[in-house]
Structure 1
């Protein structure tokens, strides 16, 4: 297992959720996001989201240029990085 002080794998970026202050990771190659550091797991070599799932009623998946994949709950007017499926 790699150290969290080692560089991120190619095509990965570290970001901070401005709402919660929580660190997350963006895989620009697969256009996905995850809370799991790709340096500490096999997430860097395995797709986080392997197939599109049907989102619950009122939800939308958006590809944001700054934050990667985000999910919008139009009913509760909330945004999150985790897939609600």
Structure 2
């Protein structure tokens, strides 16, 4: 079928790209799950901008920890 290739400044390939995508996916799923639990069990609602802000802050921490997600950031709205 079709093969999708991503061009980054570090030119990630194969397993490296898979790890980066898996890290980002895991982060978004985890934060979404926590927000869902907050809404269900604590009756607290954050606006979507607040949830996105938390995901960006957490992504910055993961980037500093070496998760490799920084290579997919491209602009000022991305992870600092």
TM-score range, shorter chain: under 0.3
Which structure shows the bigger proportion of residues in helix conformation? 2
User: TM-score normalised to the size of structure 1?
Assistant: 0.22
Larger Rg: 2
Which structure shows the bigger proportion of residues in strand conformation? 1
Asked which structure has the greater RCO (Cα within 8 Å, sep 6+), the reply is 2
